[in-house]
A = this chain, B = another copy of it.
Amino acid sequence: MAVYTDVSDEDLRAFVAGYDLGDVLSFKGIAEGVENSNFFLQTTSGPFILTLYERRVREEDLPFFLGLMEHLSARGLNCPVPVRNRAGMALGRLAGRPAVIVTFLDGLAVKRPSAAHCRAVGAALARLHEAGRDFPIERANALSLPGWAPLFARAEAEADRVADGLAGRARRELAHLADAWPSGLPSGVIHADLFTDNVFFIGPELSGLIDFYFACTDAFAYDLAICLNAWCFEADCSFNLTKGTAMIGGYQSVRPLEPAEVASLPTLCRGSALRFMLTRLVDWLNVPPGALVRPKDPLEYDRKLAFHRRVETAREYGWMAR
């Protein structure tokens, strides 16, 4: 949950008056996203989401994020679209923070995805990759291989407080990935955080994707590896091959994987699992006093890593020759 900033009714009304959206009927902080403050905003024109960008989002990245949502939506992907104000600007300022109003997406996040959900997510991820191909802005992935060592350095000394041997496992994993990490894979815009809370369904149908604030330019197959980690493990951290098969099959129904991507998938899964283990570990060890967000368990990804280390080929994730 996340509402870090209070917005007064006067400030809100003055802000919304800059848009062609009519009068404000309702405004409620919502428990969505952990990096920003999000509000449900109902005006006489309909429902919207108002986002205030908090310190963890760099202001210079906002044109990438906002432009990307416009770009993807224009190519038929169902995602929030920034609303432009009367001056034609998507980005405004409210309560001392960068602020944007985006369209409201219907749908529910699923907590326990089925194989059918995984297939739909795989297909939507591939559509996102295709739709982003001609997006003209680049943004480096700050949380890929070069970012992991400095992240680990912030947690290394205390990692074994969280689990026996965790520091050693992370150190060995970093060394392995520094050698094995692939380069030259097909790349473009990736979502980079397509967890279950960022995908909406209405009944069995995928209705949209949200939260593009980790999106960046990186290997498409790395994005698929993130989704395999996020969607295809059971609560006990065992991998569900049926779900993996459905997700990869869904992905390939839109964009077939190239041989180099298939060969790299086990390494990409290890890397993405390490990435989430490390960011969660740093957050776990640095909960600020008065925090409003409970940190997520880094050990979930330590357990997933143990699975990935035993994987030899992409078949073990459900990949099949087509």
A-to-B contact residues, CB < 8 Å: 1, 3, 6, 8-10, 12, 23-32, 40, 42, 47, 104, 106-112, 201-203, 290, 292, 294
B111 close to A9 (CB less than 8 A): yes
Q: From residue A95, how far is it (CB to closest CB) to chain B in Å?
A: 11
Pairwise interchain contact B112-A10, C-beta atoms closer than 8 A: yes
Q: Is the CB of A109 within 8 A of B30?
A: no
Contact in complex: A29, B30 (CB < 8 Å):
yes
B28 lies within 8 A of A32 (CB): yes
Query: Is B23 a contact partner of A1 (Cβ separation < 8 A)?
Result: no
CB neighbours (8 Å) of A10 from chain B are: 111-112
In the complex, are the beta carbons of A23 and B106 less than 8 A apart?
no
Give the nearest-CB partner of A30 in chain B.
Answer: B28
Asked if B3 contacts A110 (CB within 8 A), the reply is no
Q: Can you report 24 residue pairs joining A to B where beta carbons are below 8 Å apart?
A: A1-B3, A1-B31, A1-B292, A8-B111, A9-B108, A9-B109, A9-B110, A9-B201, A10-B111, A25-B202, A26-B108, A27-B108, A28-B31, A28-B32, A28-B40, A29-B30, A29-B31, A29-B32, A30-B30, A30-B40, A40-B40, A42-B47, A292-B292, A292-B294
Q: Tell me how many chains of this kind the complex includes.
A: 2
Which residues of B are found within 8 Å of A28, using beta-carbon distances? 30-32, 40
Shortest A276–chain B CB gap in Å is 20
Asked whether A112 lies within 8 Å of B8 as measured between CB atoms, the reply is: yes
Tell me whether A31 and B8 are in contact (CB under 8 A). Answer: no
- In angstroms, Cα B29 to Cα A122, docked, is 27
Could you tell me the distance in whole angstroms from the C-beta of A1 to the nearest C-beta in chain B? 5
Which residue of B is nearest A26, CB measured?
B106
Contacts A1-B29, A9-B111, A30-B31 known; list 7 others, CB within 8 Å. Answer: A9-B201, A10-B111, A23-B202, A25-B107, A28-B31, A30-B40, A42-B47
A6 to B, closest residue via Cβ: B111
CB closest residue in chain B, given A11: B111
Judge whether A108 and B12 touch: CB under 8 Å: yes
User: Which residues of chain B come closer than 8 Å to A109, judged between CB atoms?
Assistant: 9
Which chain B residues border A27 with CB–CB below 8 Å? 108
- Closest CB pairs A-B (n = 3): A29-B31, A8-B111, A25-B106
Residue ID in chain B nearest A4 by CB atoms? B1
Complex contacts, A32 vs chain B, CB 8 Å: 28-29
Whole-angstrom CA separation of A40 from B110 in the bound complex: 16
By a CB distance below 8 angstroms, the chain B residues around A25 are 106-107, 202
Chain B nearest CB from A28 CB (Å) reads: 5
B contact residues around A108 at 8 Å (CB): 9, 12, 24, 26-27
Partner of A290, one of B26, B111, B112, B294: B294
Q: Once bound together, how far apart are the Cα atoms of A27 and B110, in whole Å?
A: 11
Q: In the complex, which residues of chain B have a beta carbon less than 8 angstroms from the beta carbon of A23?
A: 202-203
Chain B residues contacting A201 (CB-CB under 8 Å) are 9
Write the nearest CB–CB distance from A277 to chain B, whole angstroms: 21
A110, B24: Cα distance in complex, Å: 13
Name, among A3, A10, A30, A107, the residue most crowded by chain B CB atoms within 10 Å (CB to CB).
Answer: A30
